[in-house]
Structures are given as structure tokens and as C-alpha cells.
Structure 1
Amino acid sequence: MTARHRADLPELLELQALLRLGAPQLERRLLCEVEVDGRPLPVHAYLLGAARADAPAVLFVGGVHGLERIGAEVVIAYLRSLVMRLGWDETLHQQLQSMRLAFVPLLNPGGVWRGTRSNPRGVDLMRNAPVEAREPVPWPLGGQRLSPRLPWYRGARGAPMECESQALCAFVEAELLGRPFTLVLDCHSGFGMNDRLWFPFAHTARPIEHLAELHVLAEMLDRALLHHRYVIEPQSRQYRTHGDLWDHLYLRARAGWPAQPFLPLTLEMGSWLWVKKNPRQMFSRQGIFNPLIEHRQHRVLRRHLGLLDFIGRAAASHARWLPEGALRDHHHQQALARWYRRPMR
């Protein structure tokens, strides 16, 4: 791919600069390429830290939906923070000796290029996995196969996953599954007044196997990030969907590596907060999902960096807090009371 093509998206240009600044510690890996309007756009993973299989890992993902550029920008901002600390931060180097940090900042560059939620083929990547909902889903929000001209299109029945979805799944299975502990944070923006942290499942209201671990993690977040505004909950409390990529990968992890916790989280930044402060954003497709005023964008980037840093530290220290035995049973019951014994919205 030529330098001219790399410069077409500011996110790709920024990542190219970070690769140079982070060398040789920062590794880049091509996952796939997508073609949009005759231009090849890459999907890259960036890696830092211990490559050995017995090290815990964190994956940060952004840009799954092309309209939600703020998700990619949050991931890139955190990667930039780490790269700029490589030259002087001894604590960071000690952390990287014992864990793997992975980034897929721009999973859907074609959607970002075109300013669409879907990829260039009209497929919503978060409705694209081979997972069918067990309970009724809202149509078309929960995923539809009628037409790529409508939002939340899953792809044709029986078709393979889109190349971006396949590339992410292959990367997760090769690089992350089977490690002793893995956390994922996938950054999005969505309608709502609150920032939400969702965990699986999206295809069913049934609790996941690692409910106790998620409850401990939620309590740790409450204590470590005082006055945070994240609402932590299973996605099914808001709505259920077909084809969720993280449901698919969690089920793959449970089937192939049942003893190793794999905990995917989705950050849904409440975009109504930005619209409320600047109602004119309602008349812009980008404005509905992203802060358009510069100082508000900077504020969003600052606010979430603490969460991403917490996620990395929690993974690196997992042996200190993962519950076992009677304590695990206790947290499981606490999690059921917190998240599953109230009416669904």
C-alpha cells in the first residue's frame, strides 16, 4: 500500500507515526486488507510486551463501526500514551515483561472511509458472527438478513464471515486464546446518556460462566476509579442480538480453552451527552456518534484513558484477584443479584 493511501485516513497516518516512534518494541501485523473505492486499506494489529504463551494479555479494539470514530481515537490515544512512555517509564517496562498488549485500533477502515456503520459490503461486523439469538430480538436492531441497504445487516445466510470479522477472530484465536487470562475492551459510541461497559451475552439472557470474575472486576473498578460513570452490565439487559462477535469468541474460548478466562468487554460511550451539550450535532451523521467540538473530544479521550490503564493492570495482576472456591461462589451469587434478578429493560 502506498504512502498516499495510508495518508487518506488520519487514523492510519497516526498509527504509522506511532509505529516509527515505538520501534523496535512496537510490532505491527497485517490481519487483512479491504478495498474501498479502488483503494486498499489495511487492518493491522499492534503488539507490545511478552510474546510467550504463558503471559496474560489484553486486547483493545476500535473502529468496528465506521461512524463511531471516537472508539478508534480512544484506542489510538492510549497506544500513543504507551509509546511515549517507552523511553522513560520503568514500571511500564516491568509490566510488559510479564504480559502482552494487543491493539486492533481500526477494524473497519472501509466503514470509516465511507462514513458508514457497516463495512463497504454493507455488513454490520457486530451482527456478522455465526451466533443465533436464543430469545426474540428487536428487528432490525438485533440483526437482519433482508438487505444491506438497511442497517444492522448480518450478511447473506450461509455466507462466510466478512474478511474483517474473520481476521479479528483468527488473530484472537492465534494470539490470545489459551493464555492464562485475557481481557478485551472493544470501544464504541452509542445512543444514551451513560457510558456503559457491556459483557456477554448479547444472544441470550443466560449468565455467562465467568460471572464471578466479572463481578470482582466490577468491584475493583468501583474502588480504583472513584466517581466513575460506567454502568457495568450484560448486554442482554439492554437488548439482544444475533451475530455478536464477542459472544462467538467467548463461546470458542469456552469450547477450546475452558480453564483459561477470556473476558470481553464493550465500552459504549454515551453519545447523547455530546448532543445534549451541542444540539446542532443532531443534524450531522458524524455528530450523532462523535464529539465534534475539539475540547469535548479531548475531554472524552482523557476520561477513558484511566479505564484502559485499569484494564491492563487488572490483567497483569489477575492472579491476585481471581476468585476461587467458596469466594467464587459468593461472587457468583452477588452477580446474579446485581445483574439478573431485576426486570429486563
Structure 2
Amino acid sequence: MSRKKPQPTVDDMSPMALANTPSTANIDHKAAGQEAPCFHRAMDQCRGRLQRRLPELLTVEQLCRQNAALLRSRCEALIGVEEMELPLVSLTLGDPLRAKSCLLLTAGVHGVERIGSQVLLAWLESVIERCRWDSHWRQQFDRDIAIVAMPIVNPAGMLQDSRCNANGVDLNRHAPINAEASVPPLVGGQRLSRKLPWFRGDWHKTVETEFKALSNIIERYSMPQRMMLALDFHSGFGLRDHIWIPHAYRRQPIDDIGSYMSLKLLWERNFPHHNYVFGPQAMHYLSHGDMWDYFYLRAVARGHRLLPLTLEMGSWLWVKKRPRQLFSFAGLFNPTVPHRHARVLRGHLVLIDFLLAACRNHHQWLTHGEQDRQMRQIAETLWYRQLDD
């Protein structure tokens, strides 16, 4: 399929310029002549202080220790907070450097949205358990597909029950891309003060470590002609669960909108009774500095195939069913009743299984030529004419 060049934004550095400059986000320890920090050694220094405040990180460590033959861990960086150095860890199942396709899963970009990390970890546990008894399931990870997961992108924020990281920066407003139209006050990203939420920081002066680490993972494992499908887990918007398509910075269709529409139709043919709202984020609001806008535009300009999606779990429904959660900041983003929490953990497993299969069989639905033109027309009729009104 012919690829359109990314259009410049109103920022002082366009997406094309970003793509053509050396990555400031590369923190490859071997390339820098440094030894990568050891995940388990880093955990030894802080484990005792995390039992109540960051049990998700303990779950990651336990998952790695119990499944060392299948799951590999890598400490991408250390995050300093409260006289501790929390490991920023990535997990791989299969070989992402040799596999024909790669599914990238991230969660915990906003520290208060713990449920996203918990859903991702619950799914990884189910994948690993199935590998123990289903030989055909396990064989797909030999060469066909690899999973790369970053379950807690913002461990300091999660430790402190904060949306931002330890420096007061909202990682999903941090990229050097400005929206092409007006954004909601504050929510769309602001540079007024780091004491206010949604603070963007200054990418041109200091790139946040967590952003660097995620960028480094994508650059390490993405390559020309190889499919990488990404899903980022969030919570906190609306009464429905949303599957969002980029962009967040503009209302025009993303270059790969034909393939996104094809994926949506494939999902709905297989699961016609699903409860997700599948469409562009721009239908709801625009924002500055979206990390997936940045990663996608860099990938397109470099000839790499990256299709990001965001799962935005609708936490307003949890609040509606339990209004007392309004008095808890964490309750605005996470289910607090045990049976509802369990329902959320199992409720998204089918979607992630589907995305794994879709990524492995991407040649069945990625659009080209006339098919892409038809899918694009459907998408523009369904979504983008509404955005123009």
C-alpha cells in the first residue's frame, strides 16, 4: 500500500523532522558501554517497601521467577523515587528479534490507573499457563510471533498513586507534538505548572526516562516489513470501554485508517456482541503530546509498520454503580468492589487473545491498493464526516 508522508504539526519540530533526527530516547546500555541493571537485584533493594504500595511490581517479579524458561525480563532503567530505585522492566515471550510479527502491550503510563497493569498481568498469566499444556499454542512463539510487554511504564507514579511520574510529568502529554486544533483546558496538556495535572514537561530540554525506555523498546524490536501491533491500557473515560485509534493531535484520518477499519470489521465479524466502542480518539477530544502519535509518525517515516491502539476502560460505570468511589482519587480510575474487579480482569482477555491472533495473521486483514481505498472510504463515512461537522 502506498504510504502518505506525515503532515507537519504546529509544534516547532514536525513529525518528519523528529523521524529524521537521531533518537534522543535511546538508552541502550550495551551501546553506551554500560551494564544493564539487573531486575532482581534492583528488586532486592526495595521489595520490602512495595507490598502495600506497589504489589503489581511484585507480581511482575513473581511471574518472572516462576516462568524463567518462558518469560524473559530486562530492566530498561531505574527510576529514583523516595530514596528507592524502582526497576522499569520489560518482558518478552518468544524472540522479538526473529519473530515474523510482534505484539507490544503497555500499561501503567498513568500511575493511578492500576487496573490496566492488572489486566495485562492477568492476561500474561493465562498465556503462560496455556503454554504449559497446549503445544500448538506454544509453537506460535517459536518464530511466528513474540510478545513484548511493559506492564508498569510509570512505577513511581503508581507507587505514589499519581497520574504523573516522579518529576510531575504526564508521560502521555510529553511528546513534542502539538494538537492542530483547540484541546480541552488542562486535560489536553499544559505547561503552566508541574503542580497541576496533565503537565507536559519540556521534551526539548529533558526527555523523561520512562518515555526514553518505551521509545528504546520500540526502536529495538520494530523493523521494516515486520508487523508490530501495540495496545496501551488505560482507564478513566466514559461509561463504555473504548478501543481508540490514533491520532490524538488531529481530526484527519491516520495514514493506516484503511487497515484499522479492516481490523475493526474483522473483530466485529468474530465477536458481533462485543461491548467496545471502536474508533478514533479524535471523536472524543484532542490532546497535545500523545506518545503513540509520536511513535507512529516516527515508524511511518522510517518505513516501519507500527499500528497502535489504546484500550480506555470506562471507569465512570464503576463510579455510577458505587458512588462512594467519588471520594477516592484511585476510585475514579479503578473498580474497588471485588466481584467487579474480577469481572474486569477476565472481561478483556478475549480482546487481547484476538489481537494476538490478528497480529500473527496480519496478512489476512492489512489493506493494500483498491481494498485500502474502499476501507478508507468506509472509515471516512463512519467517523471523519462527523468530525468535520
| TM-score class, shorter | over 0.9
Cα displacement (A) at 1:261: 2.7
Structure-2 separation of matches of 1:87 and 1:203: 43
Letter in 2 for 1:123: V
Structure-1 separation of matches of 2:141 and 2:340: 32
Identity of aligned residues (%): 42
Correspondent of 2:361 among 317, 321, 324: 317
TM-score if structure 2 supplies the norm length?
0.85
Structure-1 separation of matches of 2:360 and 2:270: 15
Correspondent of 1:36 among 68, 76, 81: 81
Letter in 1 for 2:207: M
**Residue pair 1:237, 1:344 contacting (<8 A) in 2 also:** no
**Residue pair 1:6, 1:41 contacting (<8 A) in 2 also:** no
- The superposition leaves residues 201-242 of structure 1 with CA deviations (integer Å, 9 ceiling, x where unpaired) of 001112111001000100111122231111111111111111
For 1:238, the equivalent position in structure 2 comes to: 284
Correspondent of 1:85 among 130, 146, 149: 130
Cα displacement (A) at 1:29: 1.1
Structure 2, unpaired ranges of 5+: 1-41
TM-score if structure 1 supplies the norm length?
0.96
- The superposition leaves residues 34-82 of structure 1 with CA deviations (integer Å, 9 ceiling, x where unpaired) of 1111111111110011334461111110100011000111111111111
For 2:44, the equivalent position in structure 1 comes to: 3
Change (3 A) 1:244 1:209: same
Cα displacement (A) at 1:140: 1.0
Pairwise mapping of residues 287-298 of structure 1 onto structure 2 (< 5 A)?
A: 287-298=331-342
1:223 paired with 2:259, answer no
Correspondent of 2:374 among 327, 330, 337: 330
Letter in 2 for 1:66: G
Change (3 A) 1:57 1:231: same
For 1:273, the equivalent position in structure 2 comes to: 317
Cα displacement (A) at 1:293: 0.8
Which stretch of the first structure deviates more once superposed, 49-58 or 84-93? Answer: 49-58
Letter in 1 for 2:291: L
For 2:37, the equivalent position in structure 1 comes to: none
- The superposition leaves residues 75-103 of structure 1 with CA deviations (integer Å, 9 ceiling, x where unpaired) of 11111111212211112212212111110
**Residue pair 1:18, 1:83 contacting (<8 A) in 2 also:** no
**Residue pair 2:96, 2:148 contacting (<8 A) in 1 also:** no
**Residue pair 2:174, 2:202 contacting (<8 A) in 1 also:** no
**Residue pair 2:175, 2:203 contacting (<8 A) in 1 also:** no
Letter in 1 for 2:282: S
For 1:256, the equivalent position in structure 2 comes to: 302
Structure-1 separation of matches of 2:168 and 2:75: 23
For 1:210, the equivalent position in structure 2 comes to: 256
Letter in 2 for 1:16: E
**Residue pair 1:61, 1:104 contacting (<8 A) in 2 also:** yes
Correspondent of 1:127 among 148, 173, 179: 173
Letter in 1 for 2:336: L
Correspondent of 1:145 among 191, 194, 204: 191
Which stretch of the first structure deviates more once superposed, 155-164 or 227-236? Answer: 155-164
- The superposition leaves residues 164-192 of structure 1 with CA deviations (integer Å, 9 ceiling, x where unpaired) of 01110111111124352111000000131
**Residue pair 1:56, 1:180 contacting (<8 A) in 2 also:** yes
Structure-1 separation of matches of 2:43 and 2:384: 51
Structure-2 separation of matches of 1:177 and 1:169: 14
Correspondent of 1:101 among 117, 125, 147: 147
Change (3 A) 1:152 1:22: same
Change (3 A) 1:296 1:3: same
Cα displacement (A) at 1:276: 1.1
1:76 paired with 2:121, answer yes
Cα displacement (A) at 1:145: 0.6
For 2:345, the equivalent position in structure 1 comes to: 301
Which stretch of the first structure deviates more once superposed, 191-200 or 1-10? Answer: 1-10
Structure-2 separation of matches of 1:140 and 1:344: 24
Cα displacement (A) at 1:298: 0.5
CA RMSD of aligned residues (A): 1.5
Letter in 2 for 1:328: D
- The superposition leaves residues 1-23 of structure 1 with CA deviations (integer Å, 9 ceiling, x where unpaired) of 24361350211111111112222
Structure 1, unpaired ranges of 5+: none
For 2:224, the equivalent position in structure 1 comes to: 178
**Residue pair 1:225, 1:306 contacting (<8 A) in 2 also:** no
